[in-house]
């Protein structure tokens, strides 16, 4: 039975869906004003792993991840770029998809944008005003009255006297705690018409309104980074309870922060590395492995040593898979020892570090079986690939991955050039140009490349104890 740590109750609970066999999950997405950084990758890889495992468990998952495409940062950046907010956000959404696709992050079933849901947001705010949970401030902004919400701060466990919100506006009733639902636009800013004037939604209301319009009064799981617990998710709960007398989610899941220089990776503090930056230096699967090497709820420190260790760990797994045939017709059972052990680790709040350890146990067993040429080798290889695929790993051809690792480790070598030289040598051999063939081989030897020809039409080349295969046509 799958157990998940619920931030709301601070304990692990059995996952019992609202509707048998189906899971509704909403995750707070990106504010698209710039390229995504590695902290974003950590959060959405955590939920990608969770979604993948829920699929593995047989659940029909409806996964929604929103996009914030209007806010102060977006307006400021668009102004700096001398472009419209829509042009900026559409461009950044494309870039986000490129980065997430590179990391093999599954796209959600639905990716609602705030600007496509203004009408439902206005209706939600109107309901809160009707129920006396919101008011219009003298400057025209619509504010949520926090003190009208019983048990406000139930998620973060903060009490109202302890809360010091960022707002210092003297026009609102409780400047230390009330938050904006509808913000009157300044001259030159984008706006939408509303009963309270031309403006745009506040940040917190957008998720409550879209969430309710898509899923109704309640969903199974609501998630995001741990930095959203307060105030964003506390405010979502307050809005949903006050509007519909129903908390918006049964289970709240929060991923731990990625730390750079001992601080949370964040663009607002100029302490970040973009996903694009890291993809230039490391294979996407290496990044994925690293970001899930700590439990998803724990903080994770970024450093090059950790990424290099992740690369070495993946290399070990791929070396174990190399030269094996994972027959798709091999039948695997959840009762098999390794599969059962892996499932027990993942059922314990998606414990990927412990699941990794099972993968290495399988790799160790597989290496022993390969040496002995044991008949169980294909089944164990299939088990390793099947379980790793469950969490988005080992999806590449081992030879291709190992070749890419060699490329990343040895930038002075042009591997496309090596492939071209090997092809030229093979053409020379086919045309009985043995002198040219020998010259090319000697050139490769000087580069540190050792060739191994086979009778099957393939050439293996070795570099730094890594084997690569070139198929000759």
| Domains of the chain, CATH where assigned | 3-264 (3.40.50.620), 308-398 (1.20.120.640), 410-471 (no CATH)
What would the DSSP string read from start to end of 285-321? HHHHHHHTSS-TTS-EE--HHHHHHHHHHHHHHHHHH
Q: Is 242 annotated as a binding residue?
A: no
Q: Give me the pLDDT at residue 467, please.
A: 46
Q: Give me the pLDDT at residue 454, please.
A: 61
89 Cβ neighbours under 8 A, 6+ residues apart: 32, 33, 67, 69, 70, 74, 113
129 Cβ neighbours under 8 A, 6+ residues apart: 135, 136, 142
**Listed residue (423, 427, 436) closest to 470, CA to CA:** 423
> Measured between alpha carbons, how far is 359 from 375 in angstroms, rounded to an integer?
20
Q: Is 471 annotated as a binding residue?
A: no
Q: Give me the pLDDT at residue 465, please.
A: 42
Q: Give me the pLDDT at residue 104, please.
A: 96
**Residue numbers of the chain with a pLDDT score lower than 70:** 161-173, 175-176, 326-328, 406-415, 447-448, 454-458, 460, 462-473
> Could you read off the pLDDT of 10-47 as tens digits, one per residue?
999 999 999 999 999 999 999 999 999 999 999 999 99
Q: Give me the pLDDT at residue 466, please.
A: 46
Q: Is 295 annotated as a binding residue?
A: no
> Facing residues of 134 across strands?
144
Query: What is the H or E stretch that residue 126 is in?
Result: helix 118-130
Q: Give me the pLDDT at residue 179, please.
A: 95
Q: Give me the pLDDT at residue 114, please.
A: 98
Q: Is 267 annotated as a binding residue?
A: yes
Q: Give me the pLDDT at residue 386, please.
A: 95
Q: What is the CA radius of gyration of the chain?
A: 27
Q: Is 206 annotated as a binding residue?
A: no
């Amino acid at each position: 039975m799958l157990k998940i740590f619920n931030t709301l109750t601070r304990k692990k609970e059995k996952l019992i869906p609202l509707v048998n066999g189906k899971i509704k999950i909403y995750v707070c997405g990106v504010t698209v004003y710039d390229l995504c950084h590695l902290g974003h990758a950590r959060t959405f890889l955590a939920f990608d792993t969770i979604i993948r495992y829920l699929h593995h468990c047989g659940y029909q998952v409806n996964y929604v991840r929103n996009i914030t495409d209007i806010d102060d940062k977006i307006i400021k950046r668009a102004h700096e770029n001398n472009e419209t907010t829509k042009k900026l956000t559409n461009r950044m959404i494309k870039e986000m998809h490129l980065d997430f696709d590179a990391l093999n992050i599954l796209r959600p079933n639905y990716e609602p944008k705030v600007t496509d849901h203004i009408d439902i947001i206005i209706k939600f705010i109107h309901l809160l005003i009707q129920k006396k949970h919101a008011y219009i401030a003298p400057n025209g902004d619509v504010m949520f009255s926090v003190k009208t919400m019983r048990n406000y701060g139930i998620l973060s466990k903060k009490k109202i006297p302890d809360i010091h919100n960022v707002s210092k506006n003297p026009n609102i009733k409780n400047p230390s705690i009330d938050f904006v639902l509808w913000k009157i636009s300044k001259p030159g800013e984008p706006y939408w018409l509303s009963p309270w004037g031309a403006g745009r939604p506040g940040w917190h209301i957008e998720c409550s309104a879209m969430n309710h319009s898509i899923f109704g009064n309640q969903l199974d799981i609501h998630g995001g980074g741990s930095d959203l617990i307060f105030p964003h998710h506390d405010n979502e709960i307050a809005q949903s309870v006050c509007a519909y007398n129903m908390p918006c989610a049964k289970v709240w899941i929060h991923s731990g922060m990625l730390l750079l220089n001992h601080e949370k990776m964040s663009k607002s503090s100029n302490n970040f590395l973009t996903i694009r930056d890291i993809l230039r230096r490391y294979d996407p699967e290496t990044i994925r492995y690293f970001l899930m090497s700590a439990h998803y709820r724990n903080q994770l420190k970024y450093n090059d040593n950790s990424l290099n260790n992740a690369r070495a760990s993946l290399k070990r797994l791929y070396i174990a898979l190399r030269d094996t045939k994972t027959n798709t017709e091999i039948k695997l059972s959840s009762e098999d020892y390794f599969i059962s052990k892996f499932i027990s680790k993942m059922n314990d709040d998606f414990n990927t570090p412990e699941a990794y350890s099972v993968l290495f146990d399988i790799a160790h067993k597989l290496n022993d079986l390969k040496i002995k040429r044991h008949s169980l080798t294909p089944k164990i290889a299939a088990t390793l690939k099947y379980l790793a695929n469950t969490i988005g790993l080992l999806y590449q051809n081992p030879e291709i991955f190992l070749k890419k690792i060699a490329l990343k480790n040895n930038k002075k070598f042009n591997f496309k050039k090596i492939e071209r030289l090997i092809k030229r040598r093979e053409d020379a051999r086919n045309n009985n140009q043995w002198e040219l063939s020998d010259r090319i081989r000697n050139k490769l030897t000087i580069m540190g490349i050792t060739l191994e020809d086979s009778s099957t039409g393939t050439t293996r080349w070795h570099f730094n104890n890594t084997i690569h295969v070139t198929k000759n046509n």
